[in-house]
Structure 1
């Protein structure tokens, strides 16, 4: 680890915090990116928030395919990733086992993707992705207590453009897609459409029947956008998204104990699968006024998940168990915003947000060898809420910027559980009223250096224990809260050719939601019995010393622990102490492209008792290419040195842990044609 840190700091590199263009300039500077982190447009350097920005070019250059890939390029951002759960862990704040909501929010075109099951979304035809660190409750509300990942898709305009692309790699992995956009009526009506298809045999084999496609996958994503500008002040768009996934998930294995198997080998007697389908619609209406701008965002989201898993993880016919989980999620939301359109001494934003959400869970646990259904909780949860929020920044002496924000957030929940297998019934109504303030102070030491400090509150909503044999007394749990205190610096030197970002943070976590086993009732419950804290720092550097050459790196340190409760001094799960990335990229005027990325993380634990763990690991990715005006071709390899590590690990029984192997070394070729 010490060697890796030395390499990062010695390289004077940067994280993916800016935009790299394929056109070259002898006097090229690092590009200043406009972000919407605070729900208004601003330069990333002027925002007193630790935020990483990934442009469409950077996403393409790095070979980033989804949110899981994205998190590897952002210090102190990790993801508990398996076929079902995609819990985003920012600054060491995870959720509990069997949760449904992540402490980090995911937004696509300002629409919340509320369940963490849907948060490893595919990135295609996007304009940029932003990762905001620290509580974002003032502007985003519930379930953003550790941060937000904000994805902005591409909007069509007057320029007609399109591309088709194909990618083929190891394990018969095929990726292909196309997108097109342009005017239907110049300056008035525009259209965009994109589709992406992926298919892979996977890299696991089932030793029981020598099936080498036990973890194959197939997925289709599509998006359409219709944009209308009836007058100069109005901008109206409708975006629809579609997903259909049909995967086998026979890759979970016992990583230790008497039935442990080697990496990428399993022994199963169930045909495990994961099917996902859904669609969303977003209507955006924006009016730009002389002094006040208006934005309306209306969203509808529908998604279904159907998963079957082998519960005993072995092929013993005398002890055959399986479980099936079906989820149906529907959400409708409406947000209105008013914000100042002039860059004067006082900039402000005010808004209203309301939503309706219906979540249905059907979990069935069968002992197949005995023809017994152990449990079958069927849970319906209806959630509604609304919020009023506002934030303003006042500038003094053109150097000192004072920011204050406040949000009132109200939420009602109705939960009902019926389990015919256990002849049980639970029903409870919940209601929350939360006040979420934020304060920030920023000072411009010069035109290129800013220091800031901030304090902000966030919360992760309470909910229902719909999975772990609840009784009336253990059916619900309350919210958890965070207060984050941060000190940071953002700077540009060498006439914009070197950029540095540094932040130090301390986060207090109250009423931490944890899963506990009650020895008196022999039941699992979710409680708010713990207090925790997370503290650390982030350092990001980037430079472009000569034409075409970009060097970049990021380093994060997090010490995330329980400070009270049964697990006092234990580390929070899925919270590596160190995470880092470093890379170098060169793009010549003659069209040659090369890039190398180093990414790694320290050891982490998979449970609050700190019993199961993953050791520290690092990976290297390489890309070589040749780029012309209308076509590109690349060869690539991910995980060059075939590092073995787990993206998921958790206790299975008293002797064993269950885990999911990360991808081995893969190689491939990618072709792009633009028109």
Structure 2
């Protein structure tokens, strides 16, 4: 499939949609059609159908219907979008990754009320008091900047309002699940000062039992979330939104389970042969604490809006792992990472009703990332004759400072009544510095390197333009074509490096654990149409993207059987695909949704990236299924004479098989997923009471989310969650 065929496929759908839209009557207030969706994808409020971007918006009601309490629970609600529990990274159009260490960021930017929260410890946000979630697919470099080469996710919370009210909820479910939620909206001075506070708590036992001590940590939930907001309106033209949030997450939702012996021999774990069983002597945990504050100021200057977003964010992550996956005291590791970030964005937006519309701004960010990582060698390691002292350790520490300054802008100019030129660009100056210490003196034949106050720095100057045209043949039909670019910053592989990894083997003056900047060029065409009095909404997109210097983690086997994680640049990656999102309201109170995607994401050139150093060119990207999608239905029934309403919701999602590694080996294959979710809600309008039954993965589809090998070659899997279900009660006032 070439880019001309993709473009032709999209353009051929235009005529039918245009004709149907021109025949559709104008919408009336009592229409039973779909409601308008307003998004801020282009730094201003716009109708989703008018935005020349492949974008999906998930409202708070659908978040509740799916019992989605985390961003990762929304995998499947938008074409080619997932949050992989294997590495905590957001994947859009087959491209994601990052997060194992502080030197390797993600490829999809995640934003909370306009504030960048791109570090992995913060990505999987709890969905507390959510208005909507916008998923922007494709590079967003001109408006959102670095590390958005695959797309961006914009989480928008509910703003305080003049209406006093709130809700209290509680729930229970299988595996000792329980939850509590409180939301309160408080007008302090009418039209002048409004406040809002939210609290969420969720806890559940895990699904995997540790035979060593009976613990059920893997698969567990344990979160507390807090969110506060104040809206000040001193004048009609000035709005100040102050917010603060905090999340304490001690969940261990996805964890590895060995399926081989200590060094990869055999096909089962000899200490825990059954699925959902482990046998490890070291307690495993994942503790994350993240939060931030922000001040969002909007000031109307005539017909223009001046916006300032000042924010500070902080996140801490501690992970302890048993790296021998056994009851033997061989090796375990403790990672402690911390990120702190100060950012400021200042922009101005023109009126939206002129022939020329624009947004222009500047951005500043100062980020500090710190890590302390220690490998603890136990008695068993010292007894194997590897030259490792008994009960010794291998410590490491690193600090990376990043300062980013950017100027950006976008212009929409109506060449004719039906044809608009879309231009955008961003110039970014970025400087990164690293201080790295690693003491491998006790690692013996394992061969971990020694670095004493290693220092390096790198400077980046990038211009990321975008160019597009939008054609509007009818009032409710838009067709667009777009060229977009983006970049992902280079960095350093801050990990337990082998001695061979710290040498300048390439002769370029930089240590081999440094990697270069990744870039992308993307081509996209799309069609957006609303028909039949807004009873049918169809959004289609086709894309091609070419990545250069693609950054990827891969396992590399050194002589002597030692496996290390080598973070390097693959030569080239090529992705292409077609996406469809369809919503329909054929009759009153019935809403149908359909999301589907076809994608071909592969390494166009990756010599040495395959098993045993083979050529990986032509292999598929990890975690990039060719086919994926979902279909859902929601139906509301008014119960006569009871002042009550019954709501029924069901969703089926599918994802074809894929691989967890770029080698595309048989033991890296992840089977397809077929998940069924449902919710039944009874709401009594007069009392404000609401009762729900919910179920996730009702057919109990048992699937794996990861297959890989660890430090010593032990093969492991991470399993998806089996069937969960429960009841929830809610009181609205």
Q: 2:483 matched to which residue of 1?
A: 455
Q: 1:296 matched to which residue of 2?
A: 308
Whether the 8 Å CA contact 1:281–1:299 is kept in 2: the answer is yes
Q: Which moved more, 1:629-638 or 1:454-463?
A: 629-638
Distance in 2 (alpha carbons) for counterparts of 1:128 and 1:643: 29
Corresponding residue to 2:621 among 551, 572, 580? 572
Distance in 2 (alpha carbons) for counterparts of 1:171 and 1:349: 50
From the superposition, tell whether residues 249 and 619 of structure 1 become closer, same or farther in structure 2 (CA, over 3 Å): closer
Deviation at 1:477, TM superposition (A): 1.1
Q: 1:544 matched to which residue of 2?
A: 585
Q: Which moved more, 1:650-659 or 1:184-193?
A: 650-659
Whether the 8 Å CA contact 1:249–1:272 is kept in 2: the answer is no
Instruction: Indicate the SS of the match to 1:315.
Output: coil
Aligned pairs for 1:35-50 (under 5 A) are 35-50=39-54
Distance in 1 (alpha carbons) for counterparts of 2:50 and 2:134: 15
Whether the 8 Å CA contact 1:248–1:271 is kept in 2: the answer is no
Q: 2:421 matched to which residue of 1?
A: 402
Instruction: Indicate the SS of the match to 1:229.
Output: strand
Q: Which runs of no fewer than 5 residues in structure 1 stay unpaired?
A: 1-23
Q: 1:480 matched to which residue of 2?
A: 518
2:669 aligned with 1:613, yes or no? Answer: yes
From the superposition, tell whether residues 215 and 95 of structure 1 become closer, same or farther in structure 2 (CA, over 3 Å): closer
Distance in 2 (alpha carbons) for counterparts of 1:273 and 1:533: 37
2:193 aligned with 1:193, yes or no? Answer: no
Q: Deviations over 1:404-434 (max 9, x none)?
A: 0010011101101111344423210111001
Q: 1:20 matched to which residue of 2?
A: none
Q: 1:634 matched to which residue of 2?
A: 692
Q: Deviations over 1:126-166 (max 9, x none)?
A: 11110000000100000000000000111101111200111
Distance in 1 (alpha carbons) for counterparts of 2:565 and 2:659: 20
Q: 1:351 matched to which residue of 2?
A: 361
Whether the 8 Å CA contact 2:698–2:724 is kept in 1: the answer is yes
Corresponding residue to 1:443 among 461, 471, 483? 471
Corresponding residue to 2:703 among 617, 620, 645? 645
Whether the 8 Å CA contact 1:403–1:441 is kept in 2: the answer is yes
Instruction: Indicate the SS of the match to 1:376.
Output: strand
Q: Which moved more, 1:533-542 or 1:94-103?
A: 94-103
Task: Count matched residues.
Answer: 648
Instruction: Indicate the SS of the match to 2:638.
Output: coil
Distance in 2 (alpha carbons) for counterparts of 1:505 and 1:255: 38
Q: 2:268 matched to which residue of 1?
A: 259
Distance in 2 (alpha carbons) for counterparts of 1:33 and 1:360: 40
Deviation at 1:199, TM superposition (A): 1.1
Q: Which moved more, 1:48-57 or 1:92-101?
A: 92-101
Q: 1:59 matched to which residue of 2?
A: 63
Instruction: Indicate the SS of the match to 2:675.
Output: strand
Deviation at 1:114, TM superposition (A): 2.2
Instruction: Indicate the SS of the match to 2:234.
Output: coil
Q: 1:228 matched to which residue of 2?
A: 232
Whether the 8 Å CA contact 2:479–2:528 is kept in 1: the answer is yes
Q: 2:298 matched to which residue of 1?
A: 286
Distance in 1 (alpha carbons) for counterparts of 2:77 and 2:194: 33
Q: 1:368 matched to which residue of 2?
A: 378
Q: Which stretches of structure 1, 4 residues or more, deviate above 4 A after TM superposition?
A: 518-524, 653-656
From the superposition, tell whether residues 150 and 582 of structure 1 become closer, same or farther in structure 2 (CA, over 3 Å): same
Distance in 2 (alpha carbons) for counterparts of 1:120 and 1:153: 15
2:675 aligned with 1:665, yes or no? Answer: no
Q: Deviations over 1:42-63 (max 9, x none)?
A: 1000000000001112222232
Deviation at 1:660, TM superposition (A): 1.5
2:586 aligned with 1:559, yes or no? Answer: no
From the superposition, tell whether residues 92 and 342 of structure 1 become closer, same or farther in structure 2 (CA, over 3 Å): closer
Distance in 1 (alpha carbons) for counterparts of 2:310 and 2:713: 50
Instruction: Indicate the SS of the match to 2:618.
Output: coil
Distance in 2 (alpha carbons) for counterparts of 1:664 and 1:380: 39
From the superposition, tell whether residues 660 and 347 of structure 1 become closer, same or farther in structure 2 (CA, over 3 Å): same
Distance in 2 (alpha carbons) for counterparts of 1:552 and 1:544: 9
Deviation at 1:374, TM superposition (A): 5.8
Deviation at 1:656, TM superposition (A): 5.3
Deviation at 1:552, TM superposition (A): 1.0
Q: 2:154 matched to which residue of 1?
A: 150
Distance in 2 (alpha carbons) for counterparts of 1:283 and 1:441: 35
Q: 1:417 matched to which residue of 2?
A: 436
Aligned pairs for 1:73-222 (under 5 A) are 73-82=77-86, 85-95=87-97, 98=100, 100-213=104-217, 215-222=219-226
Whether the 8 Å CA contact 2:56–2:78 is kept in 1: the answer is yes
Whether the 8 Å CA contact 1:518–1:525 is kept in 2: the answer is no
Whether the 8 Å CA contact 1:373–1:421 is kept in 2: the answer is no
Distance in 2 (alpha carbons) for counterparts of 1:488 and 1:97: 32
Distance in 2 (alpha carbons) for counterparts of 1:374 and 1:258: 30
Deviation at 1:376, TM superposition (A): 2.2
Distance in 1 (alpha carbons) for counterparts of 2:41 and 2:170: 32
Whether the 8 Å CA contact 2:219–2:721 is kept in 1: the answer is no
Whether the 8 Å CA contact 2:110–2:153 is kept in 1: the answer is yes
Deviation at 1:342, TM superposition (A): 4.2
Whether the 8 Å CA contact 1:288–1:341 is kept in 2: the answer is no
Instruction: Indicate the SS of the match to 1:570.
Output: coil
Distance in 1 (alpha carbons) for counterparts of 2:152 and 2:216: 37
Distance in 2 (alpha carbons) for counterparts of 1:250 and 1:51: 28
Q: Deviations over 1:500-522 (max 9, x none)?
A: 11100000010111345385897
Corresponding residue to 2:529 among 491, 496, 503? 491
Q: Deviations over 1:536-579 (max 9, x none)?
A: 01011111111111111111111000011221011111111111
Distance in 2 (alpha carbons) for counterparts of 1:515 and 1:375: 22
Whether the 8 Å CA contact 2:98–2:106 is kept in 1: the answer is no
Deviation at 1:646, TM superposition (A): 1.8
Aligned pairs for 1:261-280 (under 5 A) are 261-280=273-292
Q: RMSD across aligned C-alpha pairs, in angstroms? A: 2.0
Distance in 2 (alpha carbons) for counterparts of 1:619 and 1:450: 33
Corresponding residue to 1:335 among 322, 331, 345? 345
Instruction: Indicate the SS of the match to 1:270.
Output: coil
Deviation at 1:94, TM superposition (A): 2.5
2:619 aligned with 1:588, yes or no? Answer: no
From the superposition, tell whether residues 248 and 37 of structure 1 become closer, same or farther in structure 2 (CA, over 3 Å): closer
Q: Deviations over 1:32-91 (max 9, x none)?
A: 111000111110000000000011122222322111112221111122214xx3111100
2:118 aligned with 1:69, yes or no? Answer: no
Distance in 2 (alpha carbons) for counterparts of 1:455 and 1:344: 24
Q: Which moved more, 1:63-72 or 1:244-253?
A: 244-253
